[in-house]
Structure 1
Amino acid sequence: MENYVTDLLDRMNYTDDRNMEAGYQSSDTISWKAHREAESLKDAAFIPLLISFLDKEKDKKKRDKAYFALGHLAKNTNDVAALNFLIKQVEKEKDKYIISSLLDRIAALNKPAGTDLHPLLQALKSDKWLIRHSAIQALNNSSDAVAESTLIELIDTSGDSHDITYSNSVLNKIGTLKAIPSLEKHANSRKRDVKASAKYAIEEILKREKQAADS
């Protein structure tokens, strides 16, 4: 089993010189096929092996591939240990591209109430927009009220239209009636993306509330 994980990560990192040849399709490469294989992982027994690999591996490219595999495995198994490990790693990584990619993996995972979101909330304060925007989106699929409260505070105080747009988009998915007053402030923004994302968020929140009331 450990050999399989090592082999999969090696194939994900494999560079095929034929990529440069005319007419050669990316879907034919060893790496592309290995990434699709990683996306379909469902055996939770691989989780401790990937965590052990990440605890030891220093090469950032290999770490990035391992996060990709573990992120999809966590999504497919809904494993809490894998989720918590990935979130904690946000504070440990130093490369902004690795952190952003890691946050993108976390965004797709269900984060139940009580999940320690502190590393994600800290990443929201980054002066690097790549990390900040990914951190905002990483709060998607969060059931903890602190995620919504943090995004409301952000759209109330931020002067960055991109931060606001991304926050509105996440509130579109996790927001409640509590978020509507803050969203309404941006519904008439001169920034097209800010305005549209705020309106869509309000519509979706009201739709969810109506469905909940009718059920």
Structure 2
Amino acid sequence: MAADFLLQGETISRLLVGLSVTLRISLVSVALSLPMGVLMGVLFTRRNPLLRAVLRVYLEFIRVMPQLVLLFIVFFGSATMLGLNFSGEVASVIVFTAWGSAELGDLVRAAIESIPRSQYDSAYALALSRRQAFLRVILPQAVRRLLPPSVNLVTRIVKTTSLCMLIGVVEVVRVGQQIIDFYRFDYPYGALWTYAALGLLYFAICWPLSLLSRWLEKRSS
């Protein structure tokens, strides 16, 4: 068969090792983004105009800049300007954490601001303090609205880690390219089957997350 080369030698194990690198970068970035994003979202709702302006500039900067450009800035720029030699994985985690926390912060802000003012008034009528009202009444409702888009953000982070190969990270797509180069002459159609295998690996990771997002969306509606 045309795809027999995928079963030869250590091809499958190499793909799985590359996949583990992809998952490691994704999971560490998501884990670091969660507390930073929640804190940023809560600060977004404060009435301090200077604080809101600073956070808005940060969010828009992260949104406007392509992730690949941010990777180049952190990986190459930090070494040139600051003398810091980050590895490809560390630079990737920094970029995806900055991106994830910015996007999550905006999601948290939107979820909190979507709660009707009547919920605050009802909490105050029960003699709850502002802090108690936020923690016991507003935050639980905001979390329910926040979960589906947050899961979608995780899938976006997982898929975007494929850009890390451009700064030398040997993740799953980079491993796939190495396999294609190795079997280039023996299997002319090897690229098609290799990228199909990569697609299946990403599908196996992201599809359950998409199902979880839809289930959470139905639960919260």
TM-score (norm 2): 0.27
Q: Quick check: which has more Rg, 1 or 2?
A: 2
Higher normalized contact order (CA 8 Å, seq sep 6+, divided by chain length): 2
Structure with the higher fraction of residues in helix conformation: 2
